[in-house]
């Protein structure tokens, strides 16, 4: 039996307190990945488009750090908010960085809900071009 996901040199792994199927992982590459294991094995999204070339289940990549992410935590009081720490000192000659960030909710909300909300702005967007 082959595993659904395999990770190379992962430092950290942590489940989201907001959604039980979502977890984050960080590694030496400075990227903090957010995964949803409910999406693993789905070849098309709900609109019938083929899935991207990203690994199965990966739906967000935080690339704000310049060096390896050595720690991160989900904020249990503020949904989808994460604090992450990197060891940038090795590459820049200084200290590390701490970042507090949040994914835009359009990424993780149900697609039909997002499309209904965006529909309100359709006429404005069409006149901007």
**Residue 53 predicted with pLDDT over 80:** no
Residues 86-116: pLDDT tens digits?
988 766 677 789 999 999 888 888 889 999 9
The model carries a pTM of 0.73
Residue 74 sits at φ, ψ, to 5 deg, of: -80, 145
CA distance 76 to 70: 20
Band (pLDDT 50/70/90 cuts) for residue 27 is: confident
Residues 31-51: pLDDT tens digits?
999 999 888 766 555 555 555
**Residue 80 predicted with pLDDT over 80:** yes
């Amino acid at each position: 039996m082959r595993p659904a996901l395999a990770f190379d040199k992962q430092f950290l792994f942590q489940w989201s307190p907001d959604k039980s199927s979502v977890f984050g992982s960080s590694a030496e590459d400075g990227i903090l990945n957010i995964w949803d294991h409910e999406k693993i094995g789905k070849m098309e999204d709900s609109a019938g488009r083929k899935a991207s070339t990203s690994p199965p289940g990966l739906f967000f990549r935080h690339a704000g750090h310049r060096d390896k992410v050595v720690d991160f935590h989900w904020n249990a009081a503020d949904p989808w908010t994460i604090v992450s720490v990197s060891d940038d000192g090795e590459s820049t000659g200084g200290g590390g960085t701490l970042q507090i960030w949040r994914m835009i909710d359009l990424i993780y909300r149900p697609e039909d809900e997002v499309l209904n909300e965006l529909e309100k702005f359709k006429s404005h967007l069409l006149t901007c071009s």
